[in-house]
Amino acid sequence: MDDSPKKAETHKDLESDLKGLVYRGSTWLVAGTVSQRIVRLMSNLILVRVLLPEDFGLVALVFAWVQGLVLCSDLGVMRSIIQHPHGDSREFLGTAFTLNILRGIGLWLVSMVISVPMAAFYEMEELKWMLPVASLSVLINALSSPRQVLLTRNLKVRLTEGISVASSLSGVLFTESLALLWRDAWALIFGGLCRDVFRCVLSYFVSPPRGIWPSWDKNAFKAILNFGRWIVLSSFLTFLALQADRLIAGKFVPQSVLGQLSVALLYVGMVRSLVSTGGKSLLLPIFAKTEGTVPERLLPRYRKARLVMLSTLIPLLCGMTILGPELIDLLYPERWAAVGFYLQCTIVGYLPSYILTGTGMVLLSIGDSKGNAMVTAVEVVSLVLSLLVGVLTWGLPGMLVARGISTFVSYPILASRLKRRGIWMPWLDLIALVLTILALLGGFYLKRGYLS
């Protein structure tokens, strides 16, 4: 008896359920991420009136190194739980919990060791104490409920975004209160720690452990290690890609200028956060659940996802580039006026990578973590070289714009990996690049005509 009609009906039901998950997940994801960015922006608008640019510059450097410690030791534990068939088992979650705690303790000890040389290198005595204190956030986050990651695995975006938004609000409350009392950079450090403690406690109410505590399973450890062997390299390179501008600028520009740059990067980070959150919380689980290794099934979803992202990101970033100075003049006190120019330079440098948004995530989703690491490695090496040449030749503006060169250098490798999988879309990349250039040129021309 032919059971093909029954299979077709089952497949159609699966597609319908998946579309429902996508729609609901997308709605909560956008709502949650936008809410967090608005909360952070409002907090920043208050803090810039209480603290000095020097305070922001110092803390930007501290958080850059803390993020570096986190990414350089990333074994891809969360992503392995999401992708592994037995990622929701008690043995797997207990082993992951143990690894996270050991990692948190180890990173805190490392931060204490490197804090003294970092303070000497940047000639900032405060780093000696701020870096170890700020690194406590890694240990605090490691102690969160081990079942919390299952919310992402099961696409329960409403709960994950609820935790994030509530934590952001608590962080703003703590930070603003401490800033008004202390009026120095320590308010930003301790405000972040209070936020992390709140998130950790909240995770146990939203997603109780249910008997899952630190344990060790040899098979689970091997599975996590096997998945994360390329993730470690990729995460280290991601750290350099995200923080190289702050780390290099911290050595070559005054602390106040670094603080102004950190505010400019806040606006770029708002967009980057939306893209990153979308990939980790939505695209990765969806691709993993829909036979992502089959090009015929992946390509339509991949094309649609990129079109949606590009149609949203490119107009937004072009508008921010053209009207950046006016936006900053409207929102910030006079001592922050230079942020507008730095914002323009920063977005121009980031635009080429945003045109290719989603490509790295699709490589990870189909299990090509090696290919993703290769692309990132070439991009980061060229990025660091470009930033150094830019800052030594044309100062901070040259460094920010030079970032875009690295994307063009790594593109041939990215294209080869995507082509091998049958999901390379060269015409979409080219059209997006041309339209972006035309939009910027047209926007600046109209602005110049209006002002004149």
pLDDT at 128: 92
What mean pLDDT, rounded, does the chain reach?
Answer: 83
pLDDT in tens, 38-88: 888 899 999 999 999 999 999 999 999 998 888 877 777 777 887 777 777
pLDDT at 48: 94
Residues 6+ positions from 69 with CB-CB distance below 8 Å: 107, 110, 111, 135, 138
pTM score over 0.95 = no
CA dihedral 45, 47, 50, 52 (to 10 degrees): -100
Which range (7-16, 142-151, 215-224) has the least confidence? 7-16
Q: Which of 351, 288, 272, 349 lies closest to 318 in space, CA to CA?
A: 351
- Residue 316 one-letter amino acid: L
Greater confidence (452 vs 445) lies with: 445
The predicted model gives 250-275 an average pLDDT of: 87
Q: Which of 297, 260, 337 lies closest to 52 in space, CA to CA?
A: 260
Residue 4, pLDDT above cutoff 60: no
Greater confidence (240 vs 75) lies with: 240
pLDDT at 60: 93
Greater confidence (167 vs 232) lies with: 167
- Residues of the chain with pLDDT > 90, as a percent, come to 43
Parse the chain into domains and list their residue ranges. 20-229, 253-452
Residue 254, pLDDT above cutoff 80: yes
| Spatial distance between the Cα atoms of 200 and 223, rounded to a whole number of angstroms | 26
Kindly indicate the confidence band of residue 223, based on its pLDDT and cuts at 50, 70 and 90.
Answer: confident
Residue 336, pLDDT above cutoff 60: yes
Q: Which two tokens stand for residue 172?
A: 């703003």
pLDDT at 370: 76
pLDDT in tens, 290-328: 544 555 667 777 787 788 778 888 888 899 999 999 999
Residue 112, pLDDT above cutoff 70: yes
